[in-house]
């Protein structure tokens, strides 16, 4: 059924057309009602320019999984806000920094085939880079059919999306005077923005987009890099290392590089979008291995031959071999060590055995045998072929 007929008014179709023409892209997560809004968005050509992903969290367990906890009340503003924030973080990953993104969360309880003890109501929230707006309404129970309440919830969702896109919202929810639509807005800081502007050591990023600052990561198998781009060699190296050492696998993406400076927001979004399930990524402000060891104690730091060579060059320690030994001592003091993978270097495959290790530090390094891992692809090579 086209959007115009579904709503009984041309205004729905007209508004959806304007939404599709806006630059924003959306992840929509809803529970209990709001599916008609998704139908309207898909019923007008151009929805691929707007919709990144939509998820119906119909079971309470699905909603809890998205939120990361069991809420006290499933139909509430905090749940809608939590779903919107989760959707926003997911949209960041999917859009990869190419367009502005919006996360929408909807939580509702509407008429069904049995009498509900609680009120029929909805909570809708919209999360953008600069803030969160949430809408709440309690319906007069027993005055509408399920289809009419679904229509009402979906109109509120569509209005919220239009306003987040900067559009006038002509779609007026069909509410009675005794059913005020409560609207509240609050500024919010994007998690990536906040991380880039802070001195927080780490920000954990999960495949579904969930982000958590300063999570404890101990005893992991850590592969650090700029991942520009991420390629099969990175993935296979971490897979083999984690399997060999029987440790959880974790990628680390430092946003601060001693030679290249701080990554900007859009670049960081694009880098993160490369990591698919099941991979977790830890963003850090830690360019030095001694600092990584402090943040990820009792871990194995997976590096390539070329990185191992640079690690032991005194020019990175102001020309001081003593400073280099102090840095290695700090790595050891945090219970960490290095696993070194061989690499094709100057037309020859070189391994840990080709490196002269400083006296007293041989135990800090172990070799990943060529028989277990060898991939000659590099990010530098891939960038050159794309140039």
Q: How far is CA 16 from CA 252, 290, 328, in A?
A: 40, 53, 59
Helix segments in the chain, DSSP class H = 3-7, 10-21, 35-43, 60-67, 77-95, 146-164, 191-197, 232-245, 265-272, 289-295, 305-311, 321-333, 379-386
Inform me whether the pLDDT recorded for 382 exceeds 80: no
pLDDT at 139: 93
Model pLDDT for residues 282-292, shown as the tens digit of each residue: 999 998 999 99
3-state class of 75 per DSSP? coil
CB count in 10 Å sphere of residue 189: 13
Model pLDDT for residues 60-78, shown as the tens digit of each residue: 999 998 888 899 899 999 9
Sign of the dihedral defined by the CA atoms of residues 336, 208, 89, 32, in that order: negative
Model pLDDT for residues 292-329, shown as the tens digit of each residue: 999 999 999 999 999 999 999 999 999 999 999 999 99
Model pLDDT for residues 240-251, shown as the tens digit of each residue: 999 999 999 999
Residue by residue, DSSP assigns 186-207 as EE---HHHHHHHS--SEEEE-T
pLDDT at 219: 97
**Number of C-alpha atoms within 13 angstroms, CB side, residue 386?**
8
Inform me whether the pLDDT recorded for 231 exceeds 80: yes
Q: Which of 29-33, 38-42, 140-144, 237-241 is least confident?
A: 140-144
- φ, ψ for residue 113, nearest 5 deg: -90, 15
pLDDT at 66: 87
Provide mean pLDDT across the span 338-356: 93
DSSP state of 352: G
More confident residue, 260 or 77: 77
Number of H helices, E strands in the chain: 13, 18
Structure tokens at 375: 């991939």
Per cent of the chain over pLDDT 70 is 95
Q: Please, which residues bridge with residue 125 across strands?
A: 105, 134
Q: Which of 7-11, 157-161, 335-339 is least confident?
A: 7-11
Query: Taking all residues of the chain, what is their mean pLDDT, rounded to a whole number?
Result: 90
pLDDT band at 89 (very low <50, low <70, confident <90, very high): confident
pLDDT at 115: 72
CB-based burial label for 12 (10 Å; 0-12, 13-18, 19+)? buried
pLDDT at 260: 65
User: Domains along the chain?
Assistant: 3-188 (3.90.950.20), 192-386 (3.40.50)
């Amino acid at each position: 059924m086209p959007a115009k007929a579904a709503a009984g008014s041309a205004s729905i179709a007209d508004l959806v057309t304007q939404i599709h023409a806006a630059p924003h892209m959306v992840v929509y997560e809803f529970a209990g009602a709001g599916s008609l809004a998704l139908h309207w968005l898909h019923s007008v050509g151009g929805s691929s320019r707007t919709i990144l992903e939509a998820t119906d969290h119909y079971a309470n367990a699905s909603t809890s999984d998205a939120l990361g906890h069991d809420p006290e009340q499933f139909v509430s503003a905090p749940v809608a806000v939590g779903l919107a924030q989760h959707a926003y973080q997911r949209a960041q990953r999917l859009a990869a920094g190419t367009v502005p993104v919006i996360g929408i969360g909807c939580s509702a309880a509407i008429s069904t085939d049995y009498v509900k003890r609680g009120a029929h109501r909805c909570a809708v929230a919209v999360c953008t880079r600069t803030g969160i707006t949430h809408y709440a309404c309690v319906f007069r129970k027993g005055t509408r059919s399920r289809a009419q309440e679904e229509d009402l919830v979906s109109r509120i969702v569509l209005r919220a999306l239009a306003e987040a896109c900067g559009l006038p919202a002509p779609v007026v929810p069909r509410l009675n005077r005794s059913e005020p639509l409560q609207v509240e807005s609050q500024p919010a800081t994007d998690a990536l923005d906040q991380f880039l502007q802070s001195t927080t050591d780490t920000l954990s990023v999960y495949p579904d987009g969930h982000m958590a600052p300063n999570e404890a990561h101990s005893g992991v198998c850590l592969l650090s890099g700029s991942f520009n781009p991420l390629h099969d060699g990175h993935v296979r190296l971490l897979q083999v290392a984690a399997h060999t050492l029987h440790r959880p696998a974790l990628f680390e993406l430092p946003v601060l590089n001693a030679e290249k400076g701080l990554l900007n927001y859009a670049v960081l979004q694009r880098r993160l979008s490369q990591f698919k399930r099941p991979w977790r990524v830890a963003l850090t402000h830690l360019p030095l291995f001694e600092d990584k060891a402090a943040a990820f104690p009792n871990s194995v730091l997976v590096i390539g031959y070329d990185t191992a060579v640079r690690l032991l060059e005194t020019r990175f320690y102001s020309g001081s071999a003593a400073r280099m030994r102090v840095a290695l001592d700090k790595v050891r003091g945090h219970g960490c060590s290095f696993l070194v993978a061989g690499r094709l270097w100057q037309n020859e495959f070189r391994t840990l055995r080709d490196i002269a290790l400083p006296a007293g530090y041989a135990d800090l390094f172990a070799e990943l045998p060529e028989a277990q891992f060898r991939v000659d692809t590099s990010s530098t090579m891939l960038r050159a072929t794309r140039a």
